[in-house]
Structure 1
């Protein structure tokens, strides 16, 4: 049994699949947790907790929901950049 699928059909199926996966990543995040923050900044959770999240700029974008600590996104990334510039620029 031979099955022939035209190139146009294959291209359309691939395009739809890629669009579907991209839409999953385009969602706007409103808050992130320490694990996601560590992933985005390439810093360990311990380093973030000890040196970054205790800074005043970061405290402003921190929210506690029950026992969870969440950070407003993308505002926390702006705070992170300010802290880096202030503390670690030469």
Structure 2
């Protein structure tokens, strides 16, 4: 399990308290919803690749994501950015 720590200014926390009874719980829920949305999109990407390539779709979420990563169908934001920078540099040369 990964642990994320977020530092915000006192004024920002006060503002967050106006939107949520428990700002810490709100943040946890916010991240959870965002992660679920991202996972759903990643599973769709892998499912599409599996259909196109005649590969069996794994049954668990972890296996689906692992398959996508190992086949290069899923990349981190950092990987995508690095690839875009290479393309941009090659077009500027």
TM-score category (smaller protein): 0.3 to 0.5
User: When the two structures are superposed, what TM-score results if normalisation uses the length of structure 1?
Assistant: 0.34
Based on CA coordinates, which of the two structures has the bigger radius of gyration?
Answer: 1
Which structure has the higher relative contact order (CA within 8 Å, separation 6+)? 1
Greater share of residues in helix = 2
